[in-house]
């Protein structure tokens, strides 16, 4: 029985548990947040100014209260957030978590079709929107509530079960349509504690946040990790100028390689004089990380010249959060490698037959690994494998090697040629092909990723026009195809180039030979 005064030691124990990422004692996702709200030091800075964390928390209470409307728990109900990055977004996310809901984050820049797909697939009926986005499309599918119109509250909420869902992130895979990866409260709690420890995040830090919030990197690896470590967060939309200016007051920056590449393209430009001056702010960062795609070593070295540190490269996935990381100490970071597994992440490298190998597919397991894709039993079953010892692993689909038994890991590429990475976004060539095939003028299509210094993979769509569409009045043009794709696909999935070809290279079985296609594209004059 709890007696008066017993609450304090209990709370203290939970704070101590929080210090141990692998601890499985009863802990709630929000323990770390509550701990730091009490101290009240952190600020969230956005386009509207600086917001004290206690105020954001009170707003989150009001949001949870409104969502619950008298009930005790949302029991995992999926609630969408359509918000401009900032304190209102954070309040919405925490409000959903306080009410035991599952957050489904929509990117405002997505076209209607992408929003509608996620809302229907996730079974969302309620949406929290920032006032500036109230008029946006797809609200016919879910009832919108304006976040800023919800009053703040002082009240406490009960804990939820550790295995309860907290987040659904849509990720493109080998199936043609994106899948909703379900992350539990425990997945997110453990992940934040692991990263706080590995990267030494404290309330003295300020994270410079310019990543999109509908993916693992921006949402959990960056934002939630910082908030749960009591750090302040400065949230902005990525432009090189804004980023370099805001580095002045930041201690941590987390980016994708394309952001680093764009930094130098802009600084090297004819108008880059003042940007080069702003570049001096990078010296003030105690930690700059790179992830979501391979960081070219030359790019990392360029950043070292600018800032004094080679970015800490780490490997992650929507389904697992960060799995492997280089060390925090500048001198220990190995260019071209992604480091070692985090404390609770177990890894194995397997050949095609599931035997241990020096080079092969990376398998991982541990408390930060997601349990399932939403309502996709087959895809979930295919993603996990049980080895000869009866141990279940998540198959990453990444080919890796290791520098010796104990050495750091190196990412060699994807096992599937149809998974591309553009600017840090994972794309399915099959998904893009399927959408382009809906165009009446398209007979055949093959989408490939061509290696590119800025984007990683530059998406190119090769099209064979349907008879009667290749010439004259009904001719399809790259511009028309691009306009068509833009209406249906997220901007980063829209091919950078559309190439009209008389035919596609195929094998005797009639299967398109993408390596031959890529070779033909790269040997163009």
Nearer to ligand MLC, 241 or 283 (CB): 241
**Run of H or E residues at 144:** strand 143-146
Nearer to ligand AMP, 294 or 299 (CB): 294
Q: Considering the complex, what minimum distance in angstroms separates the CB of residue 156 from ligand AMP?
A: 34
- Which one of ligand AMP, ligand MLC, none is in contact with 338 (Cβ closer than 5 to 8 A by kind)? ligand AMP
Site residues (CB under 6 A) for ligand MLC?
A: 211-212, 215-218, 221, 238, 256, 258-259, 262, 291-292, 316-318, 422-425, 455, 491-492
Report helix, strand or coil for 523. Answer: coil
Nearer to ligand MLC, 150 or 254 (CB): 254
Contact call for residues 182 and 372 (beta carbons, < 8 A): yes
* H, E, C per residue of 408-436: CEEEEEECCCCEEEECCEEEEHHHHHHHH
Whole-Å CA distances, 203 to 30, 50, 200: 16, 16, 10
**Hey, what are 208's tokens?**
């410079």
Q: How many CB atoms lie within 10 A of CB 16?
A: 11
Long-range contacts of 446-452, Cβ-Cβ distance < 8 Å, separation of 24 or more: 446/504, 446/512, 446/514, 446/517, 447/420, 447/495, 448/417, 448/514, 448/517, 448/518, 448/521, 449/420, 449/421, 449/422, 450/518, 450/521, 450/522
Q: Is the dihedral of CA 364, 412, 209, 63 positive or negative?
A: negative
- Which one of ligand MLC, ligand AMP, none is in contact with 431 (Cβ closer than 5 to 8 A by kind)? none
- Which one of ligand AMP, ligand MLC, none is in contact with 174 (Cβ closer than 5 to 8 A by kind)? none
Nearer to ligand AMP, 45 or 326 (CB): 326
Q: Considering the complex, what minimum distance in angstroms separates the CB of residue 216 from ligand AMP?
A: 5
- Which one of ligand AMP, ligand MLC, none is in contact with 398 (Cβ closer than 5 to 8 A by kind)? ligand AMP
Q: Considering the complex, what minimum distance in angstroms separates the CB of residue 318 from ligand AMP?
A: 4
Sorted by sequence, the CB contacts under 8 Å of residue 166 that are 6+ apart come out as 29, 97, 102, 103, 183, 184, 185, 187, 188
Whole-Å CA distances, 163 to 90, 189, 316, 370: 22, 11, 21, 10
Nearer to ligand MLC, 241 or 511 (CB): 241
Ranked by CB distance to ligand MLC, the top (closest) residue is: 423
Q: Considering the complex, what minimum distance in angstroms separates the CB of residue 456 from ligand MLC?
A: 8
Q: Considering the complex, what minimum distance in angstroms separates the CB of residue 337 from ligand AMP?
A: 9
Q: Considering the complex, what minimum distance in angstroms separates the CB of residue 361 from ligand MLC?
A: 17
**Run of H or E residues at 120:** helix 112-122
Angle at 302 between CA 297 and CA 303, to 5 degrees: 100
Q: Phi/psi of residue 141, each to 5°?
A: -95, -20
- Which one of ligand MLC, ligand AMP, none is in contact with 396 (Cβ closer than 5 to 8 A by kind)? ligand AMP
Site residues (CB under 6 A) for ligand AMP?
A: 171, 216, 291-294, 313, 315-318, 338, 396, 398, 411, 414, 421, 426
Q: Considering the complex, what minimum distance in angstroms separates the CB of residue 461 from ligand MLC?
A: 13
Nearer to ligand AMP, 121 or 313 (CB): 313
Q: Considering the complex, what minimum distance in angstroms separates the CB of residue 259 from ligand MLC?
A: 5
- Which one of ligand AMP, ligand MLC, none is in contact with 238 (Cβ closer than 5 to 8 A by kind)? ligand MLC
- Which one of ligand AMP, ligand MLC, none is in contact with 414 (Cβ closer than 5 to 8 A by kind)? ligand AMP
- Which one of ligand AMP, ligand MLC, none is in contact with 313 (Cβ closer than 5 to 8 A by kind)? ligand AMP
Query: Residue 313: beta bridge partners?
Result: 290
- Which one of ligand MLC, ligand AMP, none is in contact with 309 (Cβ closer than 5 to 8 A by kind)? none
Q: Considering the complex, what minimum distance in angstroms separates the CB of residue 295 from ligand AMP?
A: 6
**Hey, what are 331's tokens?**
């001198």
């Amino acid at each position: 029985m709890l007696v008066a005064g017993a609450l304090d030691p209990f709370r203290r124990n939970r704070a101590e548990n929080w210090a141990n990422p692998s601890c499985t004692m009863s802990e709630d996702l929000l323990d770390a947040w509550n701990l730091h709200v009490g101290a009240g030091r952190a600020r969230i800075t956005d386009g509207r100014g600086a917001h004290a964390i206690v105020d954001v928390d009170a707003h989150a209470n009001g949001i949870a209260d409104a969502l619950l409307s008298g009930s005790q728990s949302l029991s995992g109900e999926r609630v969408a957030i359509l918000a401009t990055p900032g304190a209102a977004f954070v309040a919405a996310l925490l409000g959903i978590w306080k009410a035991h809901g599952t957050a489904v984050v929509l990117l405002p820049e997505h076209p209607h079709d992408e929003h509608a797909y996620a809302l229907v697939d996730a079974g969302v009926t309620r949406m929290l929107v920032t006032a500036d986005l109230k008029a946006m499309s797809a609200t016919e599918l879910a009832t919108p509530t304006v976040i800023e119109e919800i009053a703040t509250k002082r009240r406490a909420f009960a804990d939820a079960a550790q295995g309860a869902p907290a987040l659904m992130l849509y990720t493109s895979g080998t199936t043609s349509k994106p899948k909703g990866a379900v992350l539990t409260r425990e997945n997110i709690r453990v992940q934040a504690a692991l990263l706080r420890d590995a990267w030494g995040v404290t309330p003295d830090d300020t994270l410079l946040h310019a990543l999109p919030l509908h993916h693992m990197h921006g949402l959990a690896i960056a934002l939630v990790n910082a908030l749960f470590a009591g750090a302040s967060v400065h949230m902005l939309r990525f432009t090189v100028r804004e980023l370099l200016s805001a580095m002045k007051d930041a201690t941590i920056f987390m980016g994708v390689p394309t952001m680093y590449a764009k930094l130098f393209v802009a600084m090297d430009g004819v108008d880059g004089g003042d940007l080069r001056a702003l570049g001096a702010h990078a010296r003030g960062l105690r930690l700059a990380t790179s992830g979501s795609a391979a960081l070219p070593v030359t790019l990392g070295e360029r950043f070292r010249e600018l800032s004094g540190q080679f970015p800490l490269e780490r490997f992650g996935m929507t389904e697992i959060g960060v799995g492997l990381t280089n060390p925090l100490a500048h001198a220990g970071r190995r260019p071209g490698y992604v480091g070692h597994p985090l404390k609770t992440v177990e890894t194995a490298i397997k050949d095609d037959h599931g035997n241990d190998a020096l080079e092969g597919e990376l398998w991982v397991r541990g408390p930060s690994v997601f349990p399932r894709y939403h309502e996709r039993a087959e895809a979930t079953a295919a993603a996990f494998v049980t080895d000869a010892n009866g141990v279940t692993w998540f198959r990453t689909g990444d080919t890796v090697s290791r520098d010796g038994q104990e050495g750091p890991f190196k990412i060699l590429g994807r096992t599937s040629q149809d998974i591309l990475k553009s600017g840090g976004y994972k794309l399915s060539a099959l998904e893009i092909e399927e959408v382009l095939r809906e165009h009446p003028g398209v007979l055949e299509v093959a989408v490939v990723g061509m290696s590119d210094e800025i984007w990683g993979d530059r998406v190119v769509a090769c099209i064979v026009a349907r008879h009667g569409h290749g010439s004259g009045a009904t001719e399809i043009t790259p511009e028309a195809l691009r306009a068509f794709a833009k209406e249906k696909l997220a901007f980063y999935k829209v091919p950078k180039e559309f190439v009209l070809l008389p035919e596609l290279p195929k094998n005797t079985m009639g299967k398109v030979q993408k390596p031959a296609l890529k070779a033909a594209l790269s040997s163009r004059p």
